[in-house]
A and B are shown apart, each in its own frame.
Chain A
Amino acid sequence: MKVITGVVGNDIHVVANRLMELSLNARGYEVFNLGVNTYLEEFFDAAVETGATILLISSLNGEAEGWSREIKPLKQKYKQLDDLVMMIGGNLVVGSGNAKDIVPRYKNYGFDLVCHQVDLNTGLDSLEAFLETRNQS
């Protein structure tokens, strides 16, 4: 299965991004890693170009929320992406926040899976569970 991943916005925090690539490869995904400082258009363009089924965005500096508000209007311009599984993880707010408030907000922006300060492998396990449920239905 093809996955696009990268760090959204003007965020240079690269460590988790590299580790995600390693972990995704180990789990058998075909990974297209766009690296740090990636804009939404680049993510969606890459999804179209590669035919990826999963988009996994990460963020550490907390600016993901500003970018996520743009997802719905932007995604409408890409007709082929209706079935794209959208996941986001990392530190999703500036300052401190509560996952209980953050998760529904991000789901509303268009994400299927939201991991705020969740351990990397726990997050990827939840992705696998999500894909399994979706394939069954």
Chain B
Amino acid sequence: MSLLQEEREIILGNEFVDSFDFAEVEDFVKNASKELFISHHFKNRKKMLVQPRGGFPTYKKQYSLYEFFVEANVDVLPLTIDSNTRLNDYGTAKKMLRLSEENDIDMLNGYPLVNHGYRTTRKMMTHFNKPVSLRHGTPDARLLIETAIASGIFEIEGGPITYLLPYSKNFPLDKAFLYWKYVERVCANYSKLNEPINRESFGPLTATLVPPSITIVIQLLEMLLSLEEGVKSFSVSFAQNGSMTQDIVTGEVLKKLAKHYAEEIDCGDAIINLVYHQWMGAFPMNKDFAEQLINMSTVIASMVGADKIITKTREEASGIPTKEANAKTVANTQYTLRILNGLPKVVDEEEEEILTLEVMAIMEAVFNDPADTLWRKVFNSIKNGIIDVPFSPHIINHNEMITIRDANKNIRIINRGNVPIPDRCFEYERAQCDLSKDTTSIVNDIIHDIGIMQ
């Protein structure tokens, strides 16, 4: 028996799993309907796929959320997981699920997939026969993704960096890399049986003044970590950042460099998709304004040429959205996409060149780390501050990089910390900003820049 299979048997021998039948699950994936695979839809797509967010604790509520989504002409269904499951606390999730079922109040902020189990969940997934995307935020997602794939969920979001640096203060990063290696291998193995399982990275990170160079570097590294384990379908992603030009440039450079680096490791046969998140920062309280913002995000996603868009709702500022609001956003986004025709092609060669140079310089510094494997190189680079994510709560993050918005609302790096931004690019970034101000007014500007959409 392989080491991986031994590890799988330990993971699936968890007391909260009701006897995992490896052979039956393999058989299910092999014969599963192509419709369940988002990779199949990406291959045959004629339009940008629309995917909302959403997860409720009980089977019944999740089912009725999906009914609303299907009614609104959804392309990809989400399954958002509750926070206890994300922290591997299945005992608390079980208790809260029971309370939610008995009292008709939601005691969890998502669907506790491990507790529901794959036999139950698969009934829902095969009934709707749509691709489902697993949204979580789990550093150790080994049991969760086994359960997801066995349920017919063939897109797995996340990664060791993007699910850790924005969400955790002190979960060990090296462990996260090893746990995600397991995820990649399991996805790669299942991908041989039918259409490939799609892996997606979480580009928004902290959604707070993250400069495009950092976003792209992390997208590329998680892509490489996934492809080197044998994953054949991968989505890189990023979120609306506040400037249309910068989004278009980010999309171009990300697409170009994803292809470049995939080919460098002889994985040019993998399909790489681009996913765009509608604004992930602080939303306006005014729900009509929120709808305008969402609509504008859809327009920018089209300009960027995204393969999939992930939506927000008009209730974003006020809490977990209702299924009605969630479905409405899907219908609205589909409508906007349908009427958006004849888009111009916008190219900013100078910005593209600067961004490409920045990303390639950081990537080179990561590859030059003396460690023997890619994940260790990346780990060391984060530890050394070669990769620095603004506003990450994690203790390993350097927090030396400072970014502000220029007059056109582009995010610019005014302090690079240890990140090897080439001098020429750094001078260009700083030249776009008013640096004559004192720190107190810069802090006030940063506060304003974070709340730009409010």
Enumerate chain A interface residues (CB-CB to B < 8 A). Answer: 12, 14-15, 18-19, 22-23, 25-27, 35-37, 120-121
9 contacts between A and B (CB under 8 A): A12-B167, A12-B168, A12-B393, A14-B393, A19-B447, A22-B439, A23-B440, A25-B439, A26-B438
Distance A113 CA – B402 CA, assembled complex (angstroms):
29
Task: Across the interface, name the chain A residue whose C-beta is closest to B439.
Answer: A26
| A12 x B169 contact (CB < 8 A) | yes
B residues 402-453 near A (Cβ < 8 Å) are 402, 438-440, 442-444, 446-447, 450
Indicate whether A19 sits within 8 Å of B443 (C-beta atoms), given known contacts A12-B167, A26-B438, A35-B169.
yes
Residues of chain A lying within 8 A (CB to CB) of residue B438? 26
Asked if B356 lies at the interface with its beta carbon under 8 angstroms from chain A, I say no
- B48 → chain A closest CB, angstroms: 31
Q: Which 7 A-B pairs have the closest CB atoms?
A: A26-B439, A14-B393, A36-B393, A37-B169, A23-B443, A12-B393, A19-B443
- Tell me if B's interface is mostly helix, strand, loop or mixed: loop
| B447 x A120 contact (CB < 8 A) | yes
Partner of A14, one of B391, B440, B442, B444: B391
Asked if B241 lies at the interface with its beta carbon under 8 angstroms from chain A, I say no
Asked if B392 lies at the interface with its beta carbon under 8 angstroms from chain A, I say yes
Residues of chain B lying within 8 A (CB to CB) of residue A25? 439
Indicate whether A15 sits within 8 Å of B208 (C-beta atoms), given known contacts A26-B440, A35-B393.
yes
Indicate whether A121 sits within 8 Å of B444 (C-beta atoms), given known contacts A15-B208, A18-B399, A37-B169.
yes
| B167 x A35 contact (CB < 8 A) | no
B side interface size, CB within 8 A: 22
Residues of chain A lying within 8 A (CB to CB) of residue B440? 23, 26-27, 121
Distance A83 CA – B386 CA, assembled complex (angstroms):
41
Distance A12 CA – B447 CA, assembled complex (angstroms):
18
Indicate whether A120 sits within 8 Å of B443 (C-beta atoms), given known contacts A15-B208, A15-B450, A35-B169.
yes
Indicate whether A18 sits within 8 Å of B395 (C-beta atoms), given known contacts A23-B440, A25-B439, A121-B443.
no
Residues of chain B lying within 8 A (CB to CB) of residue A121? 440, 443-444
Residues of chain B lying within 8 A (CB to CB) of residue A15? 208, 391, 450
Task: Across the interface, name the chain B residue whose C-beta is closest to A38.
Answer: B169
Distance A22 CA – B392 CA, assembled complex (angstroms):
15
- B166 → chain A closest CB, angstroms: 9
Distance A92 CA – B372 CA, assembled complex (angstroms):
48
Residues of chain B lying within 8 A (CB to CB) of residue A18? 390-391, 399
Taking each of A15, A19, A36, A120, which has the highest tally of chain B beta carbons within 10 Å of its own beta carbon?
A: A15
Taking each of B167, B168, B393, B399, which has the highest tally of chain A beta carbons within 10 Å of its own beta carbon?
A: B393
Distance A91 CA – B450 CA, assembled complex (angstroms):
18
Residues of chain A lying within 8 A (CB to CB) of residue B399? 18
- B56 → chain A closest CB, angstroms: 22
Partner of A26, one of B169, B391, B443: B443
Distance A120 CA – B267 CA, assembled complex (angstroms):
49
Distance A41 CA – B269 CA, assembled complex (angstroms):
54
| B439 x A23 contact (CB < 8 A) | yes
| A14 x B392 contact (CB < 8 A) | yes
Distance A14 CA – B395 CA, assembled complex (angstroms):
12
Distance A61 CA – B103 CA, assembled complex (angstroms):
26
Contacts A23-B439, A26-B443 known; list 19 others, CB within 8 Å.
Answer: A12-B167, A12-B169, A12-B393, A14-B392, A14-B393, A15-B391, A18-B391, A19-B443, A19-B446, A22-B402, A22-B439, A23-B443, A26-B439, A35-B395, A36-B393, A37-B170, A120-B447, A121-B443, A121-B444
B residues 202-217 near A (Cβ < 8 Å) are 206, 208
Distance A120 CA – B442 CA, assembled complex (angstroms):
13
Residues of chain B lying within 8 A (CB to CB) of residue A23? 439-440, 443
Distance A19 CA – B442 CA, assembled complex (angstroms):
10
Residues of chain A lying within 8 A (CB to CB) of residue B206? 14
| B169 x A36 contact (CB < 8 A) | yes
- A105 → chain B closest CB, angstroms: 26
Task: Across the interface, name the chain A residue whose C-beta is closest to B170.
Answer: A37
Residues of chain B lying within 8 A (CB to CB) of residue A120? 443, 447
Distance A124 CA – B167 CA, assembled complex (angstroms):
28
Residues of chain A lying within 8 A (CB to CB) of residue B390? 18
Residues of chain A lying within 8 A (CB to CB) of residue B169? 12, 35-37
Distance A121 CA – B440 CA, assembled complex (angstroms):
8
Distance A3 CA – B8 CA, assembled complex (angstroms):
48
Task: Across the interface, name the chain A residue whose C-beta is closest to B399.
Answer: A18
| A22 x B208 contact (CB < 8 A) | no
- A48 → chain B closest CB, angstroms: 21
Residues of chain A lying within 8 A (CB to CB) of residue B168? 12
Distance A26 CA – B445 CA, assembled complex (angstroms):
15
